[in-house]
């Protein structure tokens, strides 16, 4: 959600660097883009456009800002529609201050009213625009640029990552609160961004800002607290290669990331599973031993949380999964409960809010995340990294599979269970996913059902969260109606929507009572002339009642849920591709949702 890039010290390459960084941040979701540069003695020069990065590039062909210092932004609209005026950067009345901002300024209206009364003229509908005017006020009152920036930040309330440039200063001023911001260091060249991919092609040395911290970038870098005290920040090395954020010959990032799942799963499991001994060792987490577990998460991560809650329940530990945005209204944790926040980015605002509420309630907290140095990783009592590697496509794929694997490891290590049967299944999971990818008929299924009016996904047990996730993927990237259900719930209402134009994807693995009951639900939709696509390992006789079959290898039920999900990812991808959708950047969606 929104993206920030800043660069100091690139000299004649600053503009090119900013546009390159914005392109690397496209995956976060946006509807306009812009840049502001200064440092050549001619004030602050801004160019911004509604639309995509290519639209901005088109504008830059006839009007190229210049300067050795610059900031850029991709905007995901919250206040005001996506148009040129509302695009970032925003400037003050004099044109000497330019600001980019991620997040929401909650008191912007009262501040704006006050500034308007004082004679300031606003040109946009955004909450962000109050910031450059506040800086202008500070400068007019005799403050130096850094003091004016600090005073402006002190006046606003809400979530923000803010970066500003001021005419006459070859400096970027920045601050963060509840929205990510990271510095990139490359000798005497410095970068600022909302996410590492924006500058990873140039450096792997990073400094993560924490809430309440300020940064100043000029001929050096400095991080201070709210009082101006210089902080000794750790410089960390990004382990992944910049090529991991490219498409590697695939048509879309999403397809590449689906095919990266065997490697992502190996990375998640490596060093944590003793294959010979059949045990799991997560020693760096310590002895958690929860008496109860509450999960908080959103979207795809919520489906992983539902899956994780079942794992803990089956291990004898009471567990619940909550939508993070609803957690404040939930019952408090009981006893020595552990609250687990599942968040790919570690910056999801609703999940962070729920984790903070859990801490206020006295619970221990654990972040299951993909992002080293993220807010969730820093704020929680414990952190467990899923190690999926960078994911660029907005629709989560390899991170969901890695979350499933990670939650299996977490359950086995903290609550016990049948490690002798589960560990071999986890060990075989990367190979089984690869075999599935090599032989999948998902593209054929997509060709048959691309024109369907709606899609239903059903499953029981571990497959219920997968049914929900399958429907979410279909909705996200095809823009078609899709719903996931616990298979037994169809007859309690949703069956009224089933027609011959409603393909039903039924996940059935194994040959136990649960499989038998799901086959009964398949018969219910078959009797209403709905086409059935069975996602199955062939152990049951569901194929007798299915129009088409998507195969998964035989394995433990926990691992089968991962495999079934991969087939559904492929179906959604191929339907979207046939419909010509914007697969990597679906409309209205963002990769990291940093507002509540």
| Residues carrying an active site annotation | 2, 591
- Torsion sign, CA atoms 544, 548, 553, 557: negative
User: Which residues 6+ apart lie within 8 Å of 114 measured at CB?
Assistant: none
Q: Are the CB atoms for 65 and 47 separated by under 8 Å? A: yes
In this structure, are residues 358 and 339 in contact, taking their beta carbons and an 8 Å threshold?
Answer: yes
Q: From residue 393, give the alpha-carbon distance in Å to each of 250, 353, 390, 569, 594.
A: 12, 25, 10, 12, 17
According to DSSP H, which parts of 118-181 are helical?
130-140, 145-155
State both tokens at 393.
């496509």
Which DSSP letter does residue 156 get?
A: -
208: left (phi over 0), alpha (psi -120 to 50) or beta: beta
41, burial (CB in 10 Å: exposed 0-12, middle 13-18, buried 19+)? exposed
Separation between Cα atoms, residue 94 and residue 413, nearest integer Å: 60
- Name, in order, each residue with C-beta under 8 angstroms of 270's C-beta and a sequence gap of 6 or more: 387
Q: What are phi and psi of 569, to 5 degrees?
A: -60, -45
- Of 550, 524, 294, 555, the C-alpha closest to 440 is 550
How far out from the chain centre does Cα 146 lie? 32
d(CA 171, CA 491): 64
* CA distance linking residue 92 with residue 152, whole number of Å: 12
Helix (H, G, I), strand (E, B) or coil at 392: coil
Q: Which residues pair with 384 in a beta bridge?
A: 368
Cα-Cα-Cα-Cα dihedral sign, residues 342, 570, 463, 282: negative
Q: What span, in angstroms and rounded, lies between the C-alpha atoms of 177 and 544?
A: 57
Choose among 7, 106, 87, 1: nearest CA to 47: 87
CA distances from 457 to 404, 469, 509, 574 (A): 19, 9, 14, 17
Strand pairing category for 45-50 and 32-38: antiparallel
Contact 127, 87 (CB under 8 A): no
Neighbours of 394 (CB within 10 A): 22
CA neighbor of 534 nearest in space, from 521, 517, 520, 551: 551
Q: Is 122 helix (H, G, I), strand (E, B) or coil?
A: coil
Taking alpha carbons only, the member of 254, 258, 225, 239 closest to residue 196 is 239
Q: Torsions phi, psi of 481, nearest 5?
A: -70, 130
The DSSP-derived string for 431-474 is HHHHHHHHH--HHHHHHHHTT-SEEEEEE-TTHHHHHHHHHHHH
């Amino acid at each position: 959600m929104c993206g920030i890039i800043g660069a100091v010290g690139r000299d004649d390459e600053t503009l090119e660097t900013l546009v390159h960084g914005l392109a690397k941040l496209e995956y976060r979701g946006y509807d306009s883009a812009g840049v502001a540069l200064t440092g050549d003695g001619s004030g602050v020069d801004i160019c911004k456009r509604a639309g995509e990065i290519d639209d901005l590039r088109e504008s830059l062909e006839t009007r190229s800002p210049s300067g050795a210092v610059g900031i850029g932004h991709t905007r995901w609209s919250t206040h005001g529609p996506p148009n040129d005026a509302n695009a970032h950067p925003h400037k003050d009345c004099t044109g000497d201050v330019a600001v980019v901002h991620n997040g929401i300024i909650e008191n912007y209206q009262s501040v704006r009213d006050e500034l308007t009364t004082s004679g300031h003229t606003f040109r946009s509908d955004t909450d962000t625009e109050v910031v450059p005017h506040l800086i202008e006020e500070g400068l007019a009152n005799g403050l130096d640029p850094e003091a004016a920036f600090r005073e402006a930040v002190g006046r606003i309330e809400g979530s923000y990552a803010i970066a500003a440039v001021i005419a006459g200063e070859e400096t970027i001023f920045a601050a963060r609160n509840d929205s990510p911001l990271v510095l990139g260091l490359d000798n005497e060249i410095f970068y600022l961004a909302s996410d590492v991919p924006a500058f990873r092609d140039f450096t792997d040395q990073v400094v993560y800002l924490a809430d309440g911290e300020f940064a100043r970038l000029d001929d050096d870098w400095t991080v201070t607290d709210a009082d101006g005290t210089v902080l000794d920040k750790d410089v960390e090395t990004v382990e992944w290669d910049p090529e991991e954020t490219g498409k590697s010959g695939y048509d879309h990032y999403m397809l590449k990331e689906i095919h990266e799942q065997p490697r992502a799963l190996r990375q998640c499991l490596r060093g944590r599973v003793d294959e010979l001994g059949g045990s799991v060792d997560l020693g760096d987490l310590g002895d958690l031993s929860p008496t109860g577990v509450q999960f908080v998460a959103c979207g795809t991560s919520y489906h992983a949380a539902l899956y994780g809650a079942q794992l803990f329940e089956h291990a004898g530990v009471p567990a619940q999964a909550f939508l993070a945005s609803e957690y404040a209204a939930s019952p408090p944790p009981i006893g020595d409960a552990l609250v687990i926040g599942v968040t790919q980015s570690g910056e999801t605002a609703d999940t962070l809010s729920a984790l903070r509420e859990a801490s206020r309630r006295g619970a221990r907290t654990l972040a299951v995340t993909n992002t080293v140095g993220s807010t969730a990783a820093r704020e929680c009592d414990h952190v467990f990294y899923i190690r999926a590697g960078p994911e660029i496509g907005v629709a989560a794929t390899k991170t969901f599979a890695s979350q499933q694997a990670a939650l299996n490891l977490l359950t086995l290590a903290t609550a016990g269970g049948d490690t002798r049967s589960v560990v071999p299944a986890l060990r075989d999971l990367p190979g089984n996913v690869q075999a599935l990818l090599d032989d999948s008929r998902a593209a054929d299924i997509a060709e048959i059902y691309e024109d369907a009016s709606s899609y239903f996904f059903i499953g029981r047990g571990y497959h219920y969260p997968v049914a929900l996730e399958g429907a979410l993927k279909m909705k996200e990237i095809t823009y078609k109606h899709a719903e996931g259900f616990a298979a037994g719930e169809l007859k309690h209402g949703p069956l009224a929507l089933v027609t011959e134009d409603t393909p039903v994807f039924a996940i059935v693995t194994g040959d136990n009572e649960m499989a038998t009951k799901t086959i009964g639900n398949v018969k219910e939709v078959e009797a209403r002339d709905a086409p059935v696509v069975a996602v199955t390992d062939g152990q049951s006789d569901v194929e007798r009642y299915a129009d088409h079959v998507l195969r998964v290898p035989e394995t433990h039920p926990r691992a089968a849920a991962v495999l079934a999900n991969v087939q559904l990812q492929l179906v959604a991808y191929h339907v979207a591709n046939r419909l010509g959708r914007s697969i990597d950047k679906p409309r209205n969606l963002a990769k990291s949702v940093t507002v509540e």
